[in-house]
Each structure stands twice: as C-alpha cells, then as structure tokens.
Chains A and B, each alone.
Chain A
C-alpha cells in the first residue's frame, strides 16, 4: 500500500495509517447507527485530520446529536474531533445531488429547471428510489476521491492512478501527490434491511444501464465500495431482531463482495453482581437510616430490578456470541444512563477509537 493513499499529508506522522477511507455505518433501525456513525467520525478526526460525516436520510440525526442547527445540503464544519481534528458534515439530499451531478459531470446545470418542470426531479427523488440511491452514493463517492486542489483520484482503489493525478488538472506538487480533501469519509447509511440494495446500486445500474453514461459512473462507485478503501460497519443491539438482521446483512454483504468492518454492539448492559435476597437488602437499608416499611418495599423493588437486569445481561451475552460468530471484531459500547449529551457522545467516540482495528 503506497503511503499516499492512506496518509496523504505530512501532518500525519503516525506511520502507515488505516487504508480505509470510506466508513459505511449501517444497522437495523433503532440500533443507534447515527450515534455510532457520529462517534466514529469524532474518533477518526484526530491530529489535524479532516473527516466528512454524510447523512443520507434527511432525518437530521447528526445535527441533533451534535446540538447544532439542521445541516444544509453542503459541507459544513460541525465539530472538533475527539483528538483535535475537524468533522465536516453533509446532509446529502437527492434534489441538490441531482442538480450538482448534472452540472459537474454533464455541464447540464440549466437542465435542472426543465427536469423540475416536467416532474423528473420528483420521479428521480421519490418514485424511483433506485435513482435516488445512486445519486446519494455518488455524492459520497465524489467526496471520497476529491483532492484539496479540486481534482479527483480514484478514492484509494487505484493507487497507481492516485499517485499521479491528471496533469491536465494541475498535476502533483513537487513534494508528492495532492492530499485528499478528507482523510476519511463516514457515511450514516440506510438501515441493514436496505443496505445491500443501497450499496449494490452501482452494480444494479451498471448492469441495467448497459453501457450508458450512468453505467460508467455506477461502475466506478461499485469499484470503490469493493476495495480495501471501504469498510462497512454493522451496528446492532444485543437483541433478537437486530442480531438476526446483522447476521443476514453480513452474509449479504460478503456475498456482494463488500468489505465488512467492525461489528458494533451498542447499548451493552453492565453486568450486576449476584442478586441478594430481599431479606439481606431490607435490613441493610434500615441500617442506612430507612424506616422498616419503606425499606421492605424498596428492597423488593430493587431486587426485582436486579433480577430483571441479570436476565437481560444473560440474554445479551447469548446474542453477543452470535455476533462474535461472524468472525469480525466486535466493539462494545455500553448503555449510557440518562440522556446522551455531547460529553457522553465524546466518551463513546473515545471508546470506539480504542476499539478500532
């Protein structure tokens, strides 16, 4: 692996870095994939690195977590990384993606108005979500392979080409290749139920479009997604359905040749010591100053809660084994009591950073 694809700028002296530049985060709905994607972006943004965090479902979950205004459909600096880097966020939105796409690749910026007039934008962004998907993935692809001078490389899939940017676009400076605009891109992707279709959209369209112009674009996207520059991280809760979906998604992704990354077990419960009987707890509470009646009631309550927790922890351990069986590293993120605030989010980022391969 040539150094340039992974550690493009001399500002990153910490040796040969991770070859992964595009981190795709998916998970069943409700598993906290947006939280994990955001924490991952914070974790990757260390020591001067710039990380782009992309949201594609219009939920504005990233803005809510980072306690900033709703994200516009353009790249916006939103947070300082856990280790002093910079997180830039982008709400990828199909309408503006389509217009940008037409403008950038076909110099058809003005066609947008005509498309809007006949309802083609509606068609592409709502009725034919397959086209919407390719626009969303295409935007992320574009950001991944962009260099600081505005030229584009292959995004890390083709080291040779990346080493020597097209001289027509200004060429490489004497000191080496032009650095990437973003050291890493984190994509808060659609849920696992849709992830293979979403990431496979490049193949689907490359086949369907049979050599048309969109086919070429789709094939490039598919190449990046299959390369070692991409990792698909699966977020799961330690519960039946999320684990079932994670296992299924892992199989689907493997079959599609998409590189799996981490499996993140989210909201893991901390085990409790063996639960004592009411008869042990009630006198202890009395000793701590509680009246006999309330002590008995509280003891019964907390013992019930302890027993329920022990049961839940056992169930979680069984589910965690199923995740470990996938053969990928499993990162644990513990349940955060109360509401998740910024401090809690940075703590999750630290935990995740420690568990990155």
Chain B
C-alpha cells in the first residue's frame, strides 16, 4: 500500500482537534468507528461527546443510550478516566431537533400551528433529508456548547446519517440556501393568483406583478399537486422560512468551521466495490472543497493471522491437497480456509489500492473483521487499537 499510516494518536492528542466527522455509505461501520475513536480519545485524556445516528440496540446499550431522553448527551460508563478524559454520548433525534428549532424561532401559537400542518409531519417524520439537516444542526449545537466552555466536552465526534450519498450531510446548508434564495420559495411564500385556484392574495402582496414564468409554474404545481396540498406546502414554507433562516445561519457557521483547522473528516468504508466507490466519491469531493481529510478507514477487513500472513492462496491450496492425500483432513480444511481468506484479503487490498489511485495522499487505517459483533466498550477499544496500529 502506497498510502501513509494514520497517526491517529497524534490527531486525538492534539488539543487543537475539536471535531471529527465519520462519513461513508450505509452499513460500513461509521457508528462503530465514531464510537471507537471517541472511546480512545476519552481514554487518552480528551473530554469527548459522540453523536451517533443509528446505533444497534446493543451498541446503544453499551453507550448507555437506552430508556428515552437519549438526544441529550449522557456520560458513558466503563470508559477509563485515568488520563483525565471523559465520554458523553447522544443519539440524533431528527424530529425532536426540528421541533426545537420551530419552538425557538416562532411564537408558541404559530409554532403549534406549524407543527399541526400535515406536510410538516411528513417532512419531519418520514421524508428523508431531514436527518441530514438536523445532524448538521446538532453538530453546530454541540460545537457551540463546547466553545462556550459550558459543556463537559471539548471534542465532538459525529457519525453521519446513512444517506444515499454521504455528502448530503455536508451539502445540507448549501442546498437549503439555494432553495431558500430560489424563486420557487419566493413564489410559495406568496400565495398565488386566484386563477390558479389558490388561497386569496393578501393585500400586502396583491400589488406585486406575477411574472409569466412564476404564474405558469403555479398553474403547473396546482395542476399536479392539487390545490389542497399546495396550500399546505405554502403554509409550511411560510412558517419554516423563519425557522430555516436561523438554521441556515448556524449551518453556514458550522460548514465554515468544518473547513478550518481543528476539524478532520474520516472516510469509513468496507473493502468491497460499492462502498469503495462511495468512499472515492467522498474523498474527491472533500479534496475539491478543501475539507480536511484525516484518513480512510477500511473497516471489517479480512486480516490474516500473523503466523500465516505470508502464506499465499495458491500455496495454501497446494498444501491442502497434499494434506488431504495424506489423510490429514482437519488440517487440510484449515489450509482450504486459509486459501479462501488469503484470496479475499488480496482482492480487498487490490480494491482499496484501486480506489486510492491518485488519492494516495490519504492515510489508510484498517480494522480487522471480528467474528462477533462489536457491542461493548472493550470491543470498541480493540477496534480503535487496530486503527492506531495501522
């Protein structure tokens, strides 16, 4: 591998490191990696908070994140505090975060009205996308708390939502900005012409001239969506405008902070084609945006046992045949297994190398696949030790 090893401990020990963001496609072990890095940082003396997005039930248990109220960071038991560090953990609750934003931005009556809007329920509850925006918001809040010195943490480690594209998380403020500044919102904010069958035009905007384009769009949207839905969407956009205005300000601040020294992105991947393609996309995008990439973490990699690591697949297959012929069936089975593992390890290494290509500036760290699931602090400690070693 041409890539450099990852000086993980130097990064964790540097007090200037204030934010670590783990990103990657779904199912590659982002949450585990985030939790493992947080445990190691805490045990090396940092005061850490880790925001997880969707921990498995048993990992959540290990982090003390059960029994409700898990959206607010809680201390994690079982982490050694000998070096003066500590660990808090929280789970992202997108709905509660959005509700809180609405409550903060609007007078109580309007907040309640907005939350009753049927489209709000859909946006907050089931539609995808909300998670990405709210992850950004929570990261901003946790960072602000850390900077103010009021919170018991000074290093924020975040896991990102398993979005279709992991970039949605980083893109959220820009995308929302494009939308809020767009002409569609201007159109939706302003109830349209009676001809399109919408609500009556308020006096304040009645004098404005609706251009033929926006008028046409209103007609199309009315035709496709129907008047009732369009009215609900309009009411929602009018209400959320104020809410998202504040959100966007914070998201832009957070975005800027993520590009500054003190932040580090960790791209997490599994050693298989789809995840690696996502990782490459992500590395390229981070480089283009000049966002600081700390390392590529190859999770759950096939790692051969030290004594047998130099034994290739072909040689193992040959030995297995010899052992079989000599009647050593059980030993032969182990050599066949080794041949399979060596083949997989080589294919994984080639795939990672293929991904890196011209990205060999990124440090690479590998965590070995474990025979059983990672769901306690001890196992998290081992994962982090793997990452620090490679």
- Residues B179 and A122 in contact, CB atoms below 8 Å apart: yes
Are A130 and B123 CB-contacts (below 8 A) given A191-B162, A212-B227, A305-B338?
yes
Closest chain A residue, CB of each to CB of B346: A338
CB distance from A341 to the nearest CB of B (A): 10
B375 to A240, Cβ gap below 8 A? yes
How many residues on A have C-beta within 8 angstroms of the other chain's C-beta atoms?
86
B237 nearest in chain A by CB position: A123
B 326-345 to A, binary, CB cutoff 8 A, 1 in contact else 0: 10111101110110110110
B242 within 8 A of A: no
> Given the complex of chains A and B, what is the CA–CA distance between A288 and B187 in angstroms?
80
A79 an interface residue at 8 Å Cβ cutoff?
A: no
Q: How far is the CA of A196 from the CA of B220 in the complex (A)?
A: 29
Residue of A nearest to B321 (CB): A288
A114 lies within 8 A of B216 (CB): yes
Contacts A57-B164, A64-B273, A309-B371; A30 near B25 (Cβ below 8 A):
yes
B135 to chain A, nearest CB (A): 14
Chain B interface size range: 35 or more
Q: How far is the CA of A338 from the CA of B341 in the complex (A)?
A: 8
Which residues 130-148 of B sit at the A interface, judged by CB distance below 8 A?
A: none
Quick one: which of A12-38 are within 8 Å of B by CB?
Answer: 28-31, 34
Known: A123-B184, A301-B305. A191 touches B26 (CB 8 A): yes
Known: A215-B226, A241-B56. A301 touches B308 (CB 8 A): yes
Question: Which residues of A are found within 8 Å of B68, using beta-carbon distances?
Answer: none
Q: Would you list which residues of chain A between 274 and 291 have a CB under 8 Å from chain B?
A: 274-276, 280-281, 284-285, 287-290
B57 within 8 A of A: yes
Please give, as numbers and ranges, the residues of chain A lying within 8 Å of B347 by CB-CB distance. Answer: 338-339
Contact across chains for B334 and A306 when beta carbons are under 8 A apart: yes
Contacts of B232 in A (CB 8 A): 208
With contacts A200-B126, A242-B27, A338-B344 known, is A213 near B224, CB below 8 A?
yes
Assembled-state Cα–Cα distance A303/B304 (Å): 11
Residues in A with CB closer than 8 Å to B307 are: 296-302, 304
Q: B389 interface residue, CB < 8 Å from A?
A: no
Q: Is B23 an interface residue (CB 8 A)?
A: no
Q: Are A204 and B122 in contact (CB under 8 A)?
A: yes
Interchain CB contact under 8 A, A30 and B27: yes
B285 to chain A, nearest CB (A): 14
Q: Does A337 contact B (CB under 8 A)?
A: yes
Decide yes or no: A212 and B184 within 8 Å by CB, A200-B126, A204-B126 being known contacts. no
Cα–Cα distance between A186 and B343 once the two chains are bound (Å)? 32
CB distance from A205 to the nearest CB of B (A): 8
| A129–B330 touching, CB < 8 Å | no
B110 contacts the other chain (CB 8 A): no
CB distance from A37 to the nearest CB of B (A): 12
A47: interface (CB < 8 Å)? no
Residues of B within 8 A of A118 (CB): 182-184, 187, 213-214, 217
- Say whether, besides A127-B175, A211-B226, A288 and B323 are in contact (CB < 8 Å): yes
A354 to chain B, nearest CB (A): 22
Contact of A275 with B162 at beta-carbon distance under 8 Å, contacts A210-B228, A212-B229, A240-B56 already known: no
Could you say which of B13-21, B255-263, B274-282 contacts chain A? B274-282
Q: Is the CB of A209 within 8 A of B54?
A: no
Chain A to chain B contacts (Cβ below 8 Å), 29 pairs: A28-B27, A34-B274, A58-B164, A58-B165, A59-B164, A117-B213, A119-B179, A122-B175, A207-B118, A215-B229, A240-B375, A241-B27, A242-B27, A272-B334, A276-B331, A281-B330, A289-B322, A298-B307, A298-B308, A299-B307, A301-B308, A305-B305, A305-B308, A305-B334, A311-B371, A311-B372, A338-B344, A339-B350, A340-B273
The 3 closest A-B pairs by CB, nearest first: A212-B226, A29-B26, A30-B27
Besides A111-B220, A127-B176, A315-B373, 15 other A-B contacts (C-beta < 8 A): A29-B28, A102-B220, A108-B224, A115-B217, A118-B182, A122-B178, A122-B179, A204-B126, A212-B229, A212-B230, A241-B27, A297-B307, A303-B334, A308-B371, A339-B351
